[in-house]
Chain A
Amino acid sequence: MKEIVVLSGKGGTGKTSIVGSLAALADNKALADCDVDAADLYLILQPTDRQEHEFCSGQTAHIDESLCTQCGLCQEQCRFDAIKCFKVVPTSCEGCGFCVRICPAAAISMKDNMAGHWFISDTKYGPLVHARLGIAQENSGKLVALVRQKAKELAEEHGLSYIISDGPPGIGCPVISSLSGASLALLVTEPTISGIHDLERVLGVCCHFNVPALVCINKYDVNEDNSKQIESYCMKQGVEVPVRIPYDEAVTEAMIHGVPVVEYCHNGISHQLEALWQTISKYLSR
């Protein structure tokens, strides 16, 4: 079983739209939405029959006012500035529990965080594991790891050949959590100077974690000089750029209709997406 994770560094380059089309093109796969902060894949794949589970992770400190002597030790020692006026600021607390251990009045305790929900759904393209991180919650990396784990279990149970994951933007904790140990990273970029800058950093993360990468330039015709620059950069890095996808309003229209682009239209952009999937499946069978 092979796991493909779609990343980009920069947000809004087209990861989710491309994953939606790969979902329609690939056979025998499970799907995972690892962008748990802002999960959008369900808007294209239209899942049904949801199984819903709670995700508890991490803890937050609570001060019992009736026991607190306001000595101020916790406030002084907290490295996260999470205690102000003898009250815990939940959005700053990192759940280390240091305050609990040093409080001379034993007035502080830790409570588990209900940090979000995760789901297993059916779609016409195969099973989808997705999640919703609670508002302003931490531990998105752990929720991503859980989504991947569940997708893997599903794929093994049903003897599926692929897991296709929609990754989060950036290069930090949830990205590392989506990427480590995957078979292939598909990096979707766009020919803007931000796109190029961010591609370089996310490619750096792939190298760091030893995950091979392919690059796909989306909306390449918005700036063809920049597209050429991306290709020559990738060549120098020894990374293939098998496919360029043109800008096409059909992508937004497909999103509005809640269907993958390859099912919405059958013109040039769909051919490019088909070529992309062929390249990926060939690459993985090497």
Chain B
Amino acid sequence: MIVSIASGKGGTGKTLVATSLAFSLQDTEEVQLLDCDVEEPNDHLFLKPSITNKEAVCIPVPKVDASKCTYCGECARVCAYKAIAVLAKHVMVFDQLCHGCGACSYLCPEHAIYEEGREVGVVESGYAGKIEFVQGKLTVGESMATPVIRKVKERINRHKTVIVDVSPGTSCPVVESIKDTDFCLLVTEPTPFGLNDLILAVETTIELGIPRGIIINRSGMGMDIIEDYCRQQRIPVLLNIPLDIEVARLYSGGVTLAQGMPRWKSEFYKVFAKIKELAGERDSCPQR
């Protein structure tokens, strides 16, 4: 079972839910937690794993063998990302634009292009108690998060209960993180921003055909808009976490909910039981 935790809007409590779920399930399940928010990975701040393994994430970028190159310009023509420019006697490669598709090296008529790995991030792993922990970290200044996410997801062990923490938003990094997961838990808050972004996140899960459920964080902020929306769309609300200054204080100091307030462990356990039930059912939300 692979459960992804996403939200659309940032700061709604994905990290809180991912770490609390992992913390709560570790006594009864074999848990693997993957932090796929590679731009700003935070789960480690709460679970404090001992990192025992680090592996660089590289994307292959072209290098030109000047002794073979005839400056025909084919590599620049086939590059969809404009990452290569061929001048009279010089080939310029813009590494930051390269997606590493390999078209240039394969199609070079002179076999003058070889590839070298360029490091764009790192995958770190270890254990936090019984929880197997894996996180990706995009190098500061790099723009492409998806190759790092792909590397993190290669570590998925399907025999375990896998929790995937996802970045905010709805574009490529989110799609890369939640695709091929069995269930997507969407964490939101009862505000107009929360609802606006939840709708986008729900549409993303529909597009990818992933069953979904909602956790409302900071509930009791004064609006029922999330419940109303979920009722209309027939999306199950799996948990309400009330607005509580104590929860916020614990969180601010790096203590996740289920750890700081152990009574929540059973609540997260119930959430997981519901997820198992729902992931087995057919997609319950009407297709667009």
Cα A98 to Cα B221 in complex, Å, equals 51
- Say yes or no for A255: interface residue by CB 8 A criterion: yes
Cα A91 to Cα B39 in complex, Å, equals 20
Of the residues B9, B42, B207, B248, contact of A38 by C-beta under 8 Å: B9
Residues facing A in B242-263 (CB within 8 A) are 245, 248-249, 251-254
Contact between chains at A101 and B107 (CB < 8 Å): yes
Q: A10-B40, A252-B191, A252-B222 are in contact. Are A38 and B196 (CB under 8 A)?
A: yes
Contact between chains at B197 and A205 (CB < 8 Å): no
- On chain B, the residues within 8 Å of A95 by CB distance are 80
- On chain B, the residues within 8 Å of A40 by CB distance are 9, 192-193, 196-197
Contact between chains at B80 and A205 (CB < 8 Å): no
- Say yes or no for A71: interface residue by CB 8 A criterion: no
- On chain A, the residues within 8 Å of B168 by CB distance are 11-12, 37-38, 169-170
Residues facing B in A201-222 (CB within 8 A) are 201, 204-205, 208-209, 222
Number of interface residues of B (CB under 8 A): 61
Distance in Å: Cβ of A129 to nearest Cβ of chain B: 18
- Say yes or no for A13: interface residue by CB 8 A criterion: yes
Contact between chains at A208 and B140 (CB < 8 Å): yes
Tally of contacts, chain A with chain B, CB under 8 A: 193
Residues facing A in B19-46 (CB within 8 A) are 37-40, 42, 45
Of the residues B99, B196, B222, contact of A94 by C-beta under 8 Å: B99
Q: Which of A92, A102, A191, A194 neighbours the largest number of chain B CB atoms within 10 Å of its CB? A: A194
Contact between chains at B252 and A208 (CB < 8 Å): no
- On chain B, the residues within 8 Å of A270 by CB distance are none
Interface residues on A, range: 35 or more
Closest to A227 in B: B252
Of the residues B143, B144, B200, contact of A37 by C-beta under 8 Å: B200
- Say yes or no for A226: interface residue by CB 8 A criterion: yes
Contact between chains at A168 and B42 (CB < 8 Å): no
- Say yes or no for A137: interface residue by CB 8 A criterion: yes
Residues facing A in B133-176 (CB within 8 A) are 138, 140-145, 167-175
- Say yes or no for B223: interface residue by CB 8 A criterion: yes
Q: Which of A117-125, A146-154, A171-179, A274-282 contacts B (4 or more CB under 8 A)?
A: A171-179
- Say yes or no for B106: interface residue by CB 8 A criterion: yes
Contact between chains at B101 and A91 (CB < 8 Å): no
- Say yes or no for A69: interface residue by CB 8 A criterion: no
- Say yes or no for A59: interface residue by CB 8 A criterion: yes
Q: A37-B200, A38-B197, A40-B196 are in contact. Are A222 and B140 (CB under 8 A)?
A: no
Closest to A177 in B: B143
Contact between chains at B222 and A173 (CB < 8 Å): no
Of the residues B7, B99, B204, contact of A136 by C-beta under 8 Å: B204
Cα A263 to Cα B140 in complex, Å, equals 37
- Say yes or no for B179: interface residue by CB 8 A criterion: yes
Q: A11-B11, A11-B168 are in contact. Are A91 and B45 (CB under 8 A)?
A: no
Cα A80 to Cα B179 in complex, Å, equals 13
- Say yes or no for A16: interface residue by CB 8 A criterion: yes
- Say yes or no for A260: interface residue by CB 8 A criterion: no
Residues facing B in A1-56 (CB within 8 A) are 8-13, 16, 35-38, 40, 43
Residues facing B in A70-106 (CB within 8 A) are 77, 79-80, 91-92, 94-98, 101-102
Cα A209 to Cα B11 in complex, Å, equals 25
Contact between chains at B249 and A136 (CB < 8 Å): no
- Say yes or no for B229: interface residue by CB 8 A criterion: no
- On chain B, the residues within 8 Å of A38 by CB distance are 8-10, 168-170, 196-197, 200
Of the residues A35, A133, A194, contact of B42 by C-beta under 8 Å: A194
Contact between chains at A97 and B252 (CB < 8 Å): no
Contact between chains at B192 and A258 (CB < 8 Å): yes
- Say yes or no for A158: interface residue by CB 8 A criterion: no
- On chain A, the residues within 8 Å of B167 by CB distance are 169-170
Contact between chains at A137 and B223 (CB < 8 Å): no
- Say yes or no for A193: interface residue by CB 8 A criterion: yes
Closest to A203 in B: B140
Contact between chains at A222 and B40 (CB < 8 Å): no
- On chain B, the residues within 8 Å of A171 by CB distance are 39-40, 138, 140
Contact between chains at B196 and A43 (CB < 8 Å): yes
- Say yes or no for A271: interface residue by CB 8 A criterion: no
Of the residues A79, A137, A253, contact of B171 by C-beta under 8 Å: A137
- On chain B, the residues within 8 Å of A16 by CB distance are 193
- On chain A, the residues within 8 Å of B249 by CB distance are 222-223
- Say yes or no for A198: interface residue by CB 8 A criterion: yes
Q: A40-B196, A255-B192 are in contact. Are A136 and B170 (CB under 8 A)?
A: yes
- On chain B, the residues within 8 Å of A168 by CB distance are 169
Supplied contacts A12-B168, A38-B9, A194-B15, 5 more A-B pairs, CB within 8 Å: A38-B8, A168-B169, A171-B140, A172-B144, A176-B143
Nearest first, the 4 A-B pairs at minimum CB distance are A11-B10, A12-B11, A37-B169, A96-B101
Report which B residues bind A (CB closer than 8 A): 7-12, 15, 37-40, 42, 45, 60, 78, 80-81, 99-103, 106-107, 138, 140-145, 167-175, 179, 191-193, 196-197, 200, 203-204, 207-208, 221-223, 245, 248-249, 251-254
